[in-house]
A and B are shown apart, each in its own frame.
Chain A
């Protein structure tokens, strides 16, 4: 667990403009929907307009008569094509209930948008038209939409094949939780609602599938984050031999977890292409995606903190209701578990109890959305700490400092049983307070309070940490996850000295091509421009665990570094052979092998690549190749942290919230490309602010999605968001050779509680101690009215 010193570098740690950009800024892109194959047919789905119903009949005959229609199938027509239902890879308990999830429903639909039939036509308009001619008979069933009602005795069932709406109860208790609360001098308790969100990657999902032609291989292109996982899971779901299936993720336009899944449309397109012998394409419309692509969050959180007289923490109790939606998708039940280790966050305590009930409702399934479990946990603890500080009459930073892990205490094993390798909360906080002008803003806040300004100023704090870099395979195994968390890279030295890096990560905006080039260029001592990075095609990158959970750099970058190290080790043997020197006397720096003490005798790594290609003269006990593979399995998660500060102005008459300033100091360990890191933080903060102020997926009492399009679901524009001022502290991770911690989710995890703490802080003098998210003018106004004792 010691950090390996990285050699002096020319590229790592420096902003290099992205290699990815040229085709993206000029429109020479290869999004899945851009693909056009000879004879390609278009697929459209018939979806349930009801949240819950028996399907008593599906008649596609009229659709088949429509212009351009080639085929149409009901769920029953295709049922023999499935080897199983769509996969849930995370059975969190042995007795977890997971109803069979067929790609096309046969006898029961369980949410609005559940697919019941499919139409194939020569054009996308013809396919869309023909959907209207598929007749489906529904026998309505009661819709289950409220998690607490779903648990009541005699509740209607979200799925008639089950005997209750509870999928599982998962519990983890560390320390003596009863003692922690029984002897407490003070207990702070709250209920928080982490509302349902819709990820809304700007590229809608799309699938193209081409049947076998000259080989037995079927090729499936998908707007997915996980081509490797998808290949295996589709092979299992559709009974296609894995080696005869190639999955390609071409340009992919954002994901945020929504493309980390195995979807019905992918399975159906695979089966249709093979059945019809022609390529097929499906592209979701945004409104369709809002029903058929996973949602995120949706937890009711009952949380308590127990304190000693001196305001040190004794323990924390967490009881969650987590809405699974109608089915368990790929990792649906595991999402709250990823938060189970994070409720204690940066704080020391003697006991922690975590209980989560996974509940079925007749809504679109939830699954991993940017942060997956950790934003929920971080929101709860950072909100609760502020509430406790208020109740204890303390400055919120003072309470935090009293309880957080001091920098000299790392590595630190938390009450949840995981080891934080490194961190420095003091440093990040000091920097953030200075940039923010914390003391001046507190003074202004007091002035506004004193004069009863109708626009009050609030200051919100979030001293967050998270666990990412998913993940140590053995830990995933102990949590019953269905796969490992390793990552793979191959590095090939070409005869001309150029380099190909093949990565198992699958970027969709994160800049892996640039960052991996920087890592490889420095590790091999070759020019940055001489490195090409290939990814996202199972025929090219044969092995990988893909991109999610802020894992790509921490695990995938580590694999690139390891594979490069192996190349250098081989090249060193070749250089020693060519220089007729002992390998022990060979030094390697910036791409050149030289003999210690004889600086004139040297070979570049490119020389060794050419020599090994010719293979006329190389060491007898090695193969004539420098190419190397590395599959690395991390020994621990990584733990980025930081201090985010938000100042809001809240109009107490209208409930309007305006962010006046936002400062984020993040510690993501060593940084490969500062510009990319800053961009990840900006985007992350924006999504967390969106949860705090704007977004909520709303269902009515019948299970209809009221926020069914971008007209009703409020994704913020540039006009809705402020400038974010960012800075960093740098405490290297000690658990990987790059010293990196991951940055994809940090901003999202940190920012939501910072904003809500600021809104509540502004309204504190009015007696407000919580505001329901999103803190829209209405929700803020209602909180003010409720505090005034008036009916909302």
Chain B
């Protein structure tokens, strides 16, 4: 077993794990962060995407021990938790836009899709449709045909740039 110190969604965790433990299994089975999903075993689908020290990674392709001393942010930490009462008030613009633009159906790819999109928007705050499509090519969705995901990412980008967004 190997000792780990990881900050997950702002909380510090000290755990012992087998060295072979995948980060996604550590998050889901040890920390209890089941918001991050596993959709494949070949790092193709992106359902498990989280941020490792601020950059998106596929957490099925990272060992938990590689994240020792690092900060991991998941979908569960994305919303601002300080807004009690209205549960949607603290949502990240991407969470809002996926909801308003119907960018999800079953929702299984959504956490990974949103985390990947968040990283994309850091790099490129005003992506074209084509740039969104290529920026998210590591994340598979089987329900939406991507049309509304692309729309949602661009809507969120506009809000994050402070532009008027029609709901």
- Whether B143 pairs with A26 at a CB distance below 8 angstroms is no
Known contacts A27-B74, A683-B142: A719-B99 contact under CB 8 Å: no
Chain A residues 280 to 301 lying within 8 A of chain B, measured CB to CB, are 283, 285-287
Report the separation of the CA atoms of residues A520 and B69 in the bound assembly, to the nearest whole angstrom. 52
Q: A27-B75, A125-B18, A254-B143 are in contact. Are A203 and B137 (CB under 8 A)?
A: no
A74 within 8 A of B: no
Closest-by-CB residue of B relative to A223 is B108
A190-228 interface code vs B (CB 8 A; 1 in, 0 out)? 000000000011111000000000000000000000000
Judge if B79 is at the interface, Cβ distance under 8 Å. Answer: yes
In the complex, what residue of chain A is closest to B111 when comparing beta carbons?
A: A27
- Does A456 sit at the interface, judged by CB under 8 A? no
The answer to whether A683 touches B144 (Cβ under 8 A) is yes
User: Among the interface residues B47, B108, B134, which one has the most CB atoms of the partner chain A within 10 A?
Assistant: B108
A201–B143 CA distance with the chains assembled, in angstroms: 8
B13 beta carbon closer than 8 Å to chain A? no
CB of B75 within 8 A of CB of A254, answer: no
- A28, B134: Cβ atoms under 8 Å? no
* Docked complex: B69-113 residues within 8 A CB-CB of A: 74-76, 78-79, 87-88, 91, 95, 98-100, 102, 104-111
CB within 8 Å of A: which B138-165 residues: 138-150
- Given A508-B106, A683-B144, the answer on whether A717 and B39 have CB atoms closer than 8 Å is no
- How distant is the Cα of A676 from the Cα of B101 in the complex, in angstroms? 10
Q: How far is the CA of A672 from the CA of B30 in the complex (A)?
A: 43
- Determine if A24 and B20 form an interchain contact, defined as CB atoms under 8 angstroms apart: no
Chain B residue at minimal CB-CB distance from A288: B41
What is the bound-complex CA distance between A201 and B109, given in angstroms? 10
User: Is B129 at the interface (CB under 8 A from chain A)?
Assistant: yes
Chain A stretch 87-137: residues in CB contact (< 8 A) with chain B: 124-125
- Residues of B close to A26: CB separation below 8 A: 35, 75-76, 78-79, 91, 95
Q: Size range of the interface on A? A: 35 or more
**Interfacial chain A residues near B111, Cβ < 8 Å:** 27
**CB within 8 Å of A: which of B17-72?**
18, 20-21, 25, 28-29, 32-42, 44-45, 47
Q: Is the pair B105, A510 in contact by a Cβ cutoff of 8 Å?
A: yes
In the complex the two chains form, is A202's CB within 8 Å of B100's CB?
A: no
Decide if B38 touches A25 in the complex (CB within 8 Å): no
| B75 / chain A contacts, CB cutoff of 8 Å | 25-27
The docked-state distance in angstroms from the alpha carbon of A781 to that of B76 is: 47
List of B residues within 8 angstroms of A285 by Cβ: 40-41
Asked if residues A202 and B99 are in contact (CB atoms below 8 Å), the reply is no
| Choice from A21, A287, A723 contacting B104 with Cβ under 8 Å | A21
- Of A125, A678, A686, A710, the residue contacting B44 (CB under 8 A) is A710
Q: Kindly state whether residue B114 has any CB partner on chain A within 8 Å.
A: yes
B132 within 8 A of A: yes
B37 partner, pick from A31, A509, A718, beta carbons under 8 A = A31
Q: How far is the CB of B40 from chain A (nearest CB, A)?
A: 4
CA distance A724 to B29 in the complex (A): 39
Do A31 and B41 have beta carbons less than 8 Å apart? no
A475 interface residue, CB < 8 Å from B?
A: no
Give complex CA distance A711, B44 in Å. 7
Q: A717-B138, A723-B129 are in contact. Are A711 and B37 (CB under 8 A)?
A: no
Name the contact of B99 in the complex, choosing from A21, A200, A684 (C-beta under 8 A).
A21
Contact B137 A717, beta carbon cutoff 8 Å:
yes
Q: How far is the CA of A634 from the CA of B140 in the complex (A)?
A: 36
User: Which of A252, A253, A682 is close to B148, meaning CB atoms less than 8 Å apart?
Assistant: A682
Partner among B20, B88, B137, B147 whose Cβ is within 8 Å of the Cβ of A719: B137
Task: Name which of A27, A252, A682 has the most chain B CB atoms within 10 A of its CB.
Answer: A27
Q: Judge whether A791 is part of the interface by a CB distance below 8 angstroms.
A: no
Provide the bound-state CA to CA distance between A684 and B105, in Å.
12
Chain A residues near B118: list those with CB within 8 A: none
Q: Tell whether A256 is near chain B: CB-to-CB under 8 Å.
A: yes
In the complex where A26-B76, A125-B20 touch, is A203 in contact with B102 (Cβ < 8 A)?
A: no
How many angstroms between the C-alpha atoms of A21 and B104 in the bound complex? 8
Q: How far is the CA of A721 from the CA of B39 in the complex (A)?
A: 20
Give per-residue flags for A17-54: 1 if the beta carbon is below 8 A from chain B beta carbons, else 0: 11011101111110101101000000000000000000
Instruction: Select the residue from B114, B138, B147 with max chain A CB neighbours within 10 A.
Output: B147
Instruction: Determine which of B29, B32, B95, B107 lies in contact with A253 in the assembled complex, contact meaning CB atoms within 8 Å.
Output: B107
Q: Which residues of chain A have C-beta atoms less than 8 A from B109's C-beta? A: 202, 253
Query: Do A724 and B102 touch (CB < 8 A)?
Result: no
- On chain B, the residues within 8 Å of A656 by CB distance are none
| A31: chain B residues within 8 A (beta carbon) | 34, 37, 108
Contact partners of A253 in chain B: CB under 8 A? 37, 106-109
A562 in contact (CB, < 8 A): no
* Known pairs A26-B76, A31-B108, A679-B148; A203 contacts B99 (CB<8 A): no
Given contacts A18-B99, A201-B142, contact A287 B107 (CB under 8 A): no
Query: For B114, what are the chain A residues with a Cβ–Cβ distance below 8 Å?
Result: 25
Distance in angstroms between the alpha carbons of A253 and B95 in the assembled complex: 18
Contacts of A718 in B (CB 8 A): 132-134, 136-137, 139, 141, 146, 149-150
* Beta-carbon nearest neighbor of A287 in chain B: B41
Q: Which of A29, A683, A720 contacts B105 (CB 8 A)?
A: A683
CB-CB < 8 A to B132: which residues of A?
718
Minimum distance in angstroms from A668 CB to a CB of chain B? 16
Q: Which of A34, A252, A508, A709 contacts B34 (CB 8 A)?
A: A34
Interface residue? A715 (CB, 8 A): yes
Cα distance, A33 to B32, chains bound together (Å): 12
A717 vs chain B, min Cβ distance (A): 4
Q: How far is the CB of A519 from chain B (nearest CB, A)?
A: 19
Q: Are B142 and A254 in contact (CB under 8 A)?
A: yes
Closest A residue to B33 by CB, please name it. A27
Nearest CB in chain A: distance from B128 CB, A: 12
A759 to B71, CA, bound (A): 49
* B41 partner, pick from A34, A202, A709, beta carbons under 8 A: A709
Which residue of chain B has its CB nearest to the CB of A284? B41
Known interface pairs A25-B95, A718-B136; A33-B106 also in contact (CB < 8 Å): no
A550 contacts partner chain B, Cβ-Cβ < 8 Å: no
Complex Cα distance, B106 from A254, in Å, reads 6
If the complex has contacts A18-B102, A25-B99, are A721 and B146 also in contact, measured as CB distance less than 8 A?
A: yes
CA distance A26 to B141 in the complex (A): 17
- In the assembled complex, the Cα of A509 lies from the Cα of B110 at a distance in Å of 12
* Contacts A125-B18, A254-B106, A718-B137 given; does A22 touch B145 at CB 8 Å: no
Asked if A29 and B146 make an inter-chain contact with CB atoms under 8 angstroms apart, the answer reads: no
Q: Is the CB of A710 within 8 A of B144?
A: no
Partner of B76, one of A27, A251, A724: A27
Return B16 CB to nearest CB of chain A, in Å: 13
Does A85 interact with chain B (Cβ within 8 Å)?
Answer: no
A366 contacts the other chain (CB 8 A) = no
Whether A685 sits at the interface, judged by CB under 8 Å, is yes
The residue that A24 contacts in the complex, of B78, B110, B144, with Cβ under 8 A, is B110
Cross-chain contact of B107 among A25, A204, A679, A710 (Cβ < 8 A): A25
Q: Which residue of B lies closest to A747 (CB)?
A: B145
With A17-B99, A508-B106, A715-B45 known, 12 other A-B pairs at CB within 8 A are A21-B107, A27-B74, A201-B106, A202-B142, A252-B106, A286-B39, A687-B145, A710-B40, A715-B44, A717-B133, A718-B133, A719-B134
- A to B CB contacts below 8 Å, 7 in the list: A20-B107, A22-B88, A27-B111, A203-B39, A509-B107, A709-B41, A715-B140
